[in-house]
């Protein structure tokens, strides 16, 4: 199992702080997903096509898409703030969706 360690973390970095709503699940092919997780700051058509589903509301809740592939047991939450790249992203295991 792998995890991201944070050097000299503050409590706000260790404890999740942001509320979110998954507005749409976007399933892409394995190769494109691999490209995305290795370069989330690149522009992607699947993000551009779903801009209306991503925003932060007046209660500071992130409305986002969940990008994944059939071959992976996790996905990436994306709130692009109107851009076609992953401006705000977060790892999320698929098991938490159930």
pTM: 0.89
Mean pLDDT of 67-73: 97
pLDDT at 71 over 80: yes
What is the per-residue pLDDT across 80-92, written as a single tens digit (0 to 9) for each?
A: 999 999 999 999 9
What is the per-residue pLDDT across 4-58, written as a single tens digit (0 to 9) for each?
A: 777 777 877 777 788 999 999 999 999 999 999 999 999 999 999 999 999 999 9
The domains of the chain are located at 17-97
Q: List, as own/partner pairs, every contact residues 83-90 make where C-beta atoms lie below 8 angstroms and the sequence separation is at least 24, other chains included.
A: 83/43, 83/47, 84/43, 84/44, 84/45, 84/47, 84/48, 84/51, 85/40, 85/41, 85/42, 85/43, 85/44, 85/47, 86/36, 86/40, 86/41, 86/44, 86/47, 88/62, 88/64, 89/40, 90/18, 90/20
């Amino acid at each position: 199992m792998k995890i991201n360690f944070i050097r000299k973390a503050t409590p706000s970095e260790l404890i999740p702080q942001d509320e979110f709503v998954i507005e749409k699940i976007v399933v892409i092919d394995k190769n494109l997903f691999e490209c995305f997780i290795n370069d989330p700051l690149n522009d992607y058509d699947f993000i551009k096509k779903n801009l209306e589903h991503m925003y932060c509301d007046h209660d500071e809740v992130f409305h986002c898409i969940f990008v994944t592939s059939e071959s992976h047991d996790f996905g990436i939450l994306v709130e692009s703030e109107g851009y076609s790249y992953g401006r705000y992203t977060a790892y999320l295991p698929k098991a938490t969706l159930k």
